[in-house]
Amino acid sequence: MAALLVLDLRTAEHRASLELEYLRRFTIGQARKVFDRVRVETLDVDETLRPTVFEGDEQYVLVCDQSPVLLDHASLEAMLRCVEDQALVAAPRRLDSTDLGSRFPMFTLRGYQRAEADYLAHDAHDAHDAHDAEGASDGSDSSAPGALPISLWRREDLASVVDRVGEAPLTALMQAENLGAVSIASRGLIHQFIDYYGVVRKDVLEFIDDDCGSILEIGCARGLTSSFLRQELTARGRECRVVGVEMNAEVARDAATTLDRVLVGDVQELEPDETFDVVLALELFEHLTENERFLERASRWLRPGGSIILSVPNVGHFSIVEDLIEGRWDYLPIGLLCYTHYRFFTRSTLEDWLLFCGFSDFEIVAQKTEVPADLGAWASSETADRESLATSGFYVVIRCN
């Protein structure tokens, strides 16, 4: 009976995120498809790893750092076979380090799994694919295991490193100078998501007027988008006050160091007590349980002539339609089918929703993607909406006079 110990490294930021907690649970769920028994030890990044963590009878250890990565059971099975056959540490390659992303667009879980299946089918289990901690070969992503988001070990191999180095945080133990001659083989494929709280949405600048003097960003994360917008507007000769709202108190602390003001909590319960030229909500509207009430309240937070700017995913995108045809609807922590989405929209749904909420002056702009040439015959039928199939989301600009 194969048993697995999962060493799951977390930061306070991750613990406060529903989306990243979902990803953690997904990884553990995939491990349960491969191993007869799974035990999880959740550790803070700076927490000392003590030898007592290995007192169980698990033969294998999966080390997961705090990176937001997607690992499927098929890749984990390939990693296990590698460790069983060669007694090496096994670590998967990142999808973005291969050419598979262009052939298998990663919009949904199925897209990643198609790329994974192709990779595993052509994965050469040759000696040249192995490398040690002192230098990586072409078969790996990094020369040091500490830079690998996920790795699978024999328990005794990892335990021997801990015994040799002594009690220290796992991140420190994973440094090359501590591992000595430990070898790593590249097996399997992972998808590494974007930094969930560190994205800068430069794309929305075109929808903000040069004379904008104040912005309220809902879901501001670390405040990088608002900081960018303020910098650009200032360069155009207008000083802009930026205020953020963020549910994750850990990342809100970062935002507070750069924004003029940050409110911590649920926007459906908070009041900013001031007015703005723009209320900005990017990839947030679909997460709200009270969409109509949010739009009504947001319109009251605007100065005369102000705008509400949204970015909303399109559930009619080809990747989701293909998934449904194959009987799939798989949640992910980030993207078109995010685990915390409460509402789902197409262009017509958005139009009806805005009219229902009392707005008449608005613009909906498609966010376009490429459509694969090998879509089924259904995509060429007279009733298929080709524009919708090629649209991953919408910019929505609501003008309130």
Q: Whole-model pTM? A: 0.89
Q: What is the pLDDT along the chain (401 residues), one digit of tens a residue?
A: 799 999 999 888 888 899 989 999 999 999 999 999 999 999 998 888 888 888 899 999 999 988 899 999 999 999 999 999 877 899 999 999 999 988 888 999 999 999 999 999 987 544 334 444 433 333 333 334 446 789 999 998 888 888 888 878 888 777 767 776 778 889 999 999 988 899 999 999 999 999 999 999 999 999 999 999 999 999 998 899 999 999 999 999 999 999 999 999 999 999 999 999 999 999 999 999 999 999 999 999 999 999 999 999 999 999 999 999 999 999 999 999 999 999 999 999 999 999 999 999 999 999 999 998 888 888 888 888 999 999 999 999 999 98
> What is the pLDDT at residue 147?
60
> What is the pLDDT at residue 145?
42
**The residue to which tokens 């009806």 are assigned:** 352
Residue 203 · residue 94 · CB < 8 Å: no
> What is the pLDDT at residue 138?
36
Q: How far apart are CA 283 and CA 217, in angstroms?
A: 11
Instruction: Encode 290-311: b = buried (16+ Cβ within 10 Å), e = exposed.
Output: ebeebbebbbebbeeebbbbbb
| Residues pairing with 382 in the sheet | none
Regarding beta strands 150-154 and 241-246, do their DSSP bridges make them parallel or antiparallel, or are they unpaired?
unpaired
> What is the pLDDT at residue 90?
93
Paired tokens of 60: 């294998």
Write down all domains in the chain, each with its CATH number in brackets: 3-192 (3.90.550), 202-400 (3.40.50.150)
HSE at residue 190, side-chain half, CA atoms within 13 A, is 28
Residue 393 · residue 314 · CB < 8 Å: yes
Residue 226 · residue 215 · CB < 8 Å: yes
| 90: CB partners within 8 A, 6+ apart | 78, 79, 80, 82, 83, 151, 152, 184, 185, 186, 187, 188
**The residue to which tokens 């509402």 are assigned:** 343
Helices (H), 88-206: 100-103, 109-122, 155-165, 170-173, 176-179
**The residue to which tokens 């989301």 are assigned:** 393
> What is the pLDDT at residue 12?
87
Among 222, 188, 199, CA closest to 119:
188
DSSP character string of 305-336: EEEEEEEEE-TTSHHHHHHHHTT----BSSST
Task: Give the three-state DSSP class for 83.
Answer: helix
Regarding beta strands 391-400 and 362-368, do their DSSP bridges make them parallel or antiparallel, or are they unpaired?
antiparallel
Q: How far apart are CA 195 and CA 224, in angstroms?
A: 12
> What is the pLDDT at residue 51?
82
Instruction: Encode 367-393: b = buried (16+ Cβ within 10 Å), e = exposed.
Output: bebebeeebeeebeeeebeeebbbbbb
Q: How far apart are CA 1 and CA 35, in angstroms?
A: 8
